[in-house]
């Protein structure tokens, strides 16, 4: 076995920082020129260009980070102007120096003059470029004759640098910057080669080349190339891969002068390991990803806090790193891309670092969802759904917000560059309506749970109406309440309407309620017909509980109850004061039976339904009034009023079972644990979990086409 060494190289800090330094110095220098206010034309010219440069530089500086990473927006413009302005200063200074020297333009004596002289020496050093600056640094008076004379003999440069005076800190930075070669070895990576005579395998060679990050001086670091390489090549034989990954992981910083760059390198690797695997991740991959991430965070911490910076060889004069005790979390919330990137990658769950070589099966399949799926009232339907379907299953772990999970439950918050099994759970809108169709159609590891399948035959489809799925978003009800007698539903709903306090004696329920947020004409027409029919026979009209129905009533009149929970729980509480509830679907489409009819049942009100005939496969026709089964709306409205005036008929509706006994009715709800499938058949949750795990095991996920781009290119960080 022989060892092979690679070096990652990068200029650090990147070239941009030279201009930031120059601009900062000009900013300091201009003060002296302004204070002196010499009216000689050349002095005035220098002053004007400096004021302009300081202005531009300030703009540039506020868009940049001390490490030289710039915010992307309009960076190029600002940068060009800043560089132009600095250039103009150098021209004006050269001109004045040719005609008697710049010191003529300074105040005659005092601290402003001294500061200006030092600043000028620094600027001169910086603008000369590295080779000249380095040459100068070899002399005893690196910042020019005269400058040390300004101070007492007893002060060494080192002491000055430690004085905390900004200009000396700048001096230290410039020295370090000037001494470092154009490219600095960044990371040493040892690669163990089994047979030295055979050399490196091809892919190792190639990554070796790729990992030469030539940054600054016009050439950009290509970390994204590294990532792409990893993505495309690590599919070979497991042991080679593992060995190779270990080499990357335990690579030693060859020069630690730019921790931020190392942080980015590791972040890119972590990204490659976590999300871009073309096959199911192995346990080893998990461990690597987390370990690499850990390194990325450590380097970021060192770069920004100076914590643990002993290894930092940095400044000859010992200008120490800043000693902010800022915790990592603060950086994560900062705008700087690499840090927020790291925050995104940060594992919520840090796996125990088990020794490599254990059994693959020990690693659980991770099921995740976004906490941003949360709905009004703080209810996260996806969390509930995942817990009901996958909770407590052996070999499964539930973790929120893990973008690189094995199985991901979503409706609108889909993960980025995902490679696992994707479960789309319909929320009334089918894949086509919710703009998920294109993705689900193409992605082989997708499963759709909802009324409509995705286009094509790629995604597995479980046909389930939203009436059943809506229970994932309800705070107070589980679907088994639908199987309970009316009395139980009635008291649950009224307890809820009373804020969970004691159940009051049943108030007289009013006639009927109409609650809708889109005033479709068919609903509006039935509302008027029913209101008129009821009034003409001595009942009150239909109460409007929302913006639809009665355009005369104010919002306040229509809605006395507060918005207490989410809209579904709210609807149940509101309906609990009524005998009937109008629950018309928005439109007619296959299996389109939504949460509305369930709201009425849960409130103990008789639903007046209009919509897909599929409703008959879910709900018992004796328990609701189906408007579509009448010849016309008038006949249906008359029937409702008849029932309202006939206590026996009304009671028959209340006492009828809600769910249809035959067929699959309870199966639709059996994604929830409280509901089992009929006739001892497998429940929906069992079928769904099995299907997802089978896809996971088969590894037919693959890499999802980047549906959302990363918000930046790593390369951008170095421009
Ligand atoms: C630099 O000087 C030129 C000529 O005076 C002027 O046109 C230009 O606007 C200046 N550039 C900046 C960025 O100040
Ligand atoms: C009931 O569900 C099973 C799957 O469990 C399905 O094969 C069958 O077609 C369904 N029957 C009806 C009437 O929808």
Q: Which atom of ligand 2 is nearest to the CA of 664?
A: 1
CA distances from residue 494 to 359, 508, 593, 715 in whole angstroms, order as listed: 54, 12, 25, 60
Positions of the chain with pLDDT lower than 50, given as ranges: 6-15, 64-74, 152, 162-165, 183, 206-229, 231, 233-240, 256, 275-281, 306-362, 558, 560-563, 701-719
- Ligand 1 atom closest to Cα of residue 88: 1
Which residues lie closer than 8 Å to 599 by C-beta, 6 or more apart? 568, 571, 572, 575, 581, 583
Question: Using CA atoms, how far apart are residues 692 and 319, in angstroms rounded to an integer?
Answer: 56
Ligand 2 binding pocket includes 491 (Cβ within 6 Å)? no
Q: Is the CB of 84 under 6 A from ligand 1?
A: yes
Q: Is the CB of 668 under 6 A from ligand 2?
A: no
Pairwise CA distance, residues 370 & 567, whole Å: 20
Six-digit token string for 575: 């309906």
| Closest ligand 1 atom number to CA of residue 81 | 13
CB neighbour list of residue 534: distance below 8 Å, 6 or more residues apart: 511, 512, 540, 541, 542, 640, 641, 644
Measure 589 CA to ligand 2 centroid, in angstroms.
Answer: 19
CB of 52 closer than 6 angstroms to any ligand 1 atom: yes
Give yes or no for residue 664 CB within 6 A of ligand 2: yes
At 611 the pLDDT is 95
Residue length of the chain:
719
User: Residue 263's pLDDT is what?
Assistant: 64
What does the pLDDT read at residue 74?
A: 46
Name the residue of 84, 92, 94, 95 to mutate for ligand 1: max ligand atoms within 8 A of Cβ: 84
pLDDT score recorded for residue 179: 60
Q: Which pLDDT score is estimated for 140?
A: 58
Distance 83 CA to ligand 1 centre (A): 10
Token pair recorded at residue 124: 């001169």
Give the distance (Å) from ligand 2 centre to CA of residue 383.
27
- pLDDT tens digits for range 361-387: 445 678 889 888 876 556 899 999 999
- Our mutation pick for probing the ligand 2 site, out of 451, 591, 612, 664, counting the most ligand atoms within 8 A of Cβ, is 664
pLDDT at site 267: 64
- Per-residue pLDDT of 157-191, as tens digits, reads 555 554 444 555 556 556 655 665 554 555 555 55
| 204, 191 Cβ separation under 8 angstroms | yes
Report the DSSP beta bridge partners of residue 427. Answer: 429
User: For position 361, what pLDDT does the model report?
Assistant: 40
Q: What is the per-residue pLDDT for 141? A: 60
Ligand 2 binding pocket includes 349 (Cβ within 6 Å)? no
What global pTM score does this model have?
A: 0.57
């Amino acid at each position: 076995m022989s060892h092979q060494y690679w070096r990652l190289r990068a200029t650090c800090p990147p070239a941009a920082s030279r201009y930031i330094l120059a601009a900062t110095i000009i900013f300091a220098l201009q003060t002296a020129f302004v204070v002196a206010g010499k009216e000689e034309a050349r002095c005035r010219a220098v002053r004007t260009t400096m004021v302009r440069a300081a202005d531009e530089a300030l703009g540039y500086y506020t868009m940049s980070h001390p490490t030289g990473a710039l915010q992307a927006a309009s960076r190029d413009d600002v940068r060009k102007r800043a560089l132009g302005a600095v250039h103009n200063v150098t021209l004006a200074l050269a001109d004045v120096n040719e005609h008697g020297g710049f010191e003529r333009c300074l105040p005659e004596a005092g601290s402003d003059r001294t500061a200006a002289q030092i600043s000028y020496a620094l600027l001169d050093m910086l603008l000369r470029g590295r080779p000249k600056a380095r040459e100068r640094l070899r002399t005893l008076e690196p910042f020019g004759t005269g400058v040390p004379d300004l101070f007492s003999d007893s002060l060494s440069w080192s002491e000055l640098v430690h004085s905390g005076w900004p200009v000396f800190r700048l001096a230290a930075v410039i020295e370090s910057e000037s001494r470092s070669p154009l490219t600095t070895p960044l990371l040493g990576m040892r690669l163990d080669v089994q047979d030295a005579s055979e050399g490196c395998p091809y892919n190792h060679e190639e990554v070796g080349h790729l990992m030469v990050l030539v940054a600054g001086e016009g050439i950009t670091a290509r970390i994204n190339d590294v990532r792409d390489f990893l993505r495309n090549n690590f599919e070979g034989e497991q042991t080679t891969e593992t060995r190779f990954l270990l080499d990357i992981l335990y690579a030693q910083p060859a020069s630690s002068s730019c921790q931020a760059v190392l942080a980015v390198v590791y972040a890119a690797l972590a990204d490659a390991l976590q999300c871009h695997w073309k096959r199911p991740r192995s346990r080893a991959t998990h461990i690597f990803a987390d370990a690499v991430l850990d390194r990325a965070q450590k380097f970021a911490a060192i770069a920004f806090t100076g914590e643990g910076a002993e290894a930092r060889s940095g400044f000859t004069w010992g200008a120490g790193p800043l000693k902010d005790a800022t915790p990592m979390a603060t950086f994560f919330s900062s705008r700087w891309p690499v840090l927020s990137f790291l925050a995104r990658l940060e594992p919520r769950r840090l796996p125990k670092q088990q020794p490599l070589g254990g059994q693959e099966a020990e690693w659980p399949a991770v099921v995740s969802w976004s906490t941003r799926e949360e709905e009004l009232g703080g209810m996260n339907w996806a969390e509930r759904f995942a817990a009901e379907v996958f909770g407590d299953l052996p070999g499964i772990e539930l973790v929120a917000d893990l973008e690189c999970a094995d199985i991901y439950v979503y409706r609108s918050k889909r993960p980025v560059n995902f490679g696992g099994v994707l479960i789309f759970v319909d929320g009334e809108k089918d894949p086509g309506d919710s703009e998920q169709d294109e993705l689900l159609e193409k992605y082989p590891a997708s499963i759709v749970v909802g009324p409509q399948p995705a286009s094509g035959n790629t995604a597995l489809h479980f046909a389930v109406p939203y009436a059943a799925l809506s229970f994932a978003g309800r705070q107070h009800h589980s679907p088994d309440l639908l199987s309970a007698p009316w009395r139980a539903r009635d008291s649950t709903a009224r307890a809820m309407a009373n804020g969970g306090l004691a159940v009051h004696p049943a108030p007289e329920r009013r006639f009927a309620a109409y609650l809708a947020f889109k005033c479709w004409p068919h609903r509006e027409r039935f509302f008027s017909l029913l209101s008129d029919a009821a009034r003409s026979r001595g009942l009150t009209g239909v109460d409007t509980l929302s913006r639809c129905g009665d355009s005369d009533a104010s919002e306040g009149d229509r809605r006395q109850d507060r918005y207490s929970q989410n809209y579904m729980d709210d609807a149940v509480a509101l309906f609990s004061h009524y005998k009937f509830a109008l629950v018309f679907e928005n439109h007619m489409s296959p299996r389109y039976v939504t949460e509305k009819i369930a709201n009425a049942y849960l409130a103990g009100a008789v639903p007046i339904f209009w919509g897909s005939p599929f409703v008959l496969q879910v709900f018992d026709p004796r328990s609701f009034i189906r408007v579509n089964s009448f010849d016309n709306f008038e006949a249906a409205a008359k029937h409702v009023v008849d029932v309202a005036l006939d206590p026996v008929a009304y009671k028959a509706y209340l006492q009828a079972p809600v769910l249809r006994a035959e067929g699959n009715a309870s199966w639709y709800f059996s994604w929830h644990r409280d509901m089992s499938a009929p006739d001892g058949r497998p429940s929906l949750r069992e079928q769904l979990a099995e299907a997802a795990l089978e896809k996971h095991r088969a590894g037919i996920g693959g890499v999802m086409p980047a549906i959302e781009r990363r918000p930046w290119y790593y390369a951008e960080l170095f421009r």
